[in-house]
Amino acid sequence: MIEYSKKINDLGFTIFELLSEALGLNPSFLKDFNCAEGHIIQGHYYPPCSGPELTLGVSSHTDADFITLLLQDHIGGLQVLHEGQWVNVPPVHGALVVNIGDLLQLITNSKFVSVYHRVISKNIGPRISVVSFFVNTPDPIKGESKIYGPLKELISEEIPPIYKNFTIKEFLDYFYAKGLDGNSSLEPFKL
Ligand SMILES: O=C(O)CCC(=O)C(=O)O
Ligand SMILES: [Fe+2]
């Protein structure tokens, strides 16, 4: 697990470099902005379900982070919302899914958009997935919480900010209080 975590960390840094370049910024920009500072790894276990049409593995949501790197096994079940339709994300051996999270949407002023996804239930399994969230968390000792908002490099008179400045604590408190209810965590942070 430690080896996996190190590799995912390095991959995350590379993806942040590519995303920074895609935004026309210095490759180290998003990393220097502490986007990869907190790395949370979760293991999910989905037992086989006798009535899969009656429930979901994980309900529709967007991730409350900058990016997510997701490893799913051969069972499948992950779906993304594309043009109003749920589309299967078939498992590809050795491949990771990269999702944009809400925090990247906020700081890029919606240049990158977080993706709604869910996991359907199946009567086969169990299904196992390992999910790595790149997020900045409040300092556990000092309690300090970084302030984020649309990057000044990406806003101008023609492209005004869509979101207000917020602390990571405010954002995460709202996300955890709201739960995965299918609504966007971005609403209260809109200007
Ligand atoms: O298990 C999966 O494939 C996805 C889980 C997920 O979306 C999440 O933990 O945020
Ligand atoms: Fe998710």
For the chain, give every domain's residue range. 2-189
CA of 11 to the centre of ligand 1 (A): 19
Q: What is the mean pLDDT of residues 103-120?
A: 97
ipTM of the prediction: 0.99
pLDDT of residue 74: 96
Query: Does residue 22 register a pLDDT over 80?
Result: yes
**Would you say the pTM of this structure is higher than 0.80?**
yes
Model pLDDT, residue 141: 78
Average pLDDT over every residue of 4-26? 95
- How far, in Å, CA of 181 to CA of 46, rounded? 19
Ligand 1 centroid–CA 81 distance in Å is: 14
As a whole-number percent, the residues of the chain with pLDDT over 90 amount to: 82
For residue 46, which atom of ligand 1 is closest to its CA?
A: 1
DSSP β-ladder status, 85-88 and 166-167: unpaired
Q: How far apart are the first and last CA of the chain?
A: 41
Q: What is the pLDDT of residue 21?
A: 98
Residue nearest to atom 1 of ligand 1 (CA): 129
Q: How confident is the model at residue 1 (pLDDT cuts 50, 70, 90)?
A: confident
If pLDDT is split at 50, 70 and 90, which confidence band does 162 have? very high
pLDDT band at 117 (very low <50, low <70, confident <90, very high): very high
Q: Looking at domain 2-189, which CATH architecture does it have? A: Sandwich (2.60)
- The Å distance, Cα 157 to ligand 1 centre, comes to 38
Q: Is the pLDDT of residue 139 over 80?
A: no
Distance 152 CA to ligand 1 centre (A): 31
Chain-centre distance for alpha carbon 25: 21
* Residue pLDDT, tens place only, 32-73: 998 988 889 999 999 999 999 999 999 999 999 999 999 999
- pLDDT beyond 90 at 95: yes
Q: Report residues near ion ligand 2: CB below 5 Å.
A: 63
Give the pLDDT confidence score for residue 138 in this predicted structure. 78
Ligand 1, residues at Cβ distance < 6 Å: 42, 44, 58, 63, 70, 72, 78, 117, 119, 129, 131
Mean pLDDT of the chain: 94
Ligand 1 atom with the smallest distance to the CA of 68 is 10
**The pairing of beta strand 85-88 with beta strand 97-100:** unpaired
* Calpha distance 118→57 (Å, rounded): 7
Task: Give nearest CA residue, ligand 1 atom 8.
Answer: 131
| Distant-in-sequence contacts of 110-115, Cβ < 8 A, 24+ apart | 110/162, 111/23, 111/154, 112/19, 112/23, 114/62, 114/63, 114/186, 115/62, 115/80, 115/81
Residues 6+ apart with CB under 8 A from 177: none
Please tell me the number of the ligand nearest to residue 73's CA.
1
CA of residue 162 to ligand 2 center, whole Å: 24
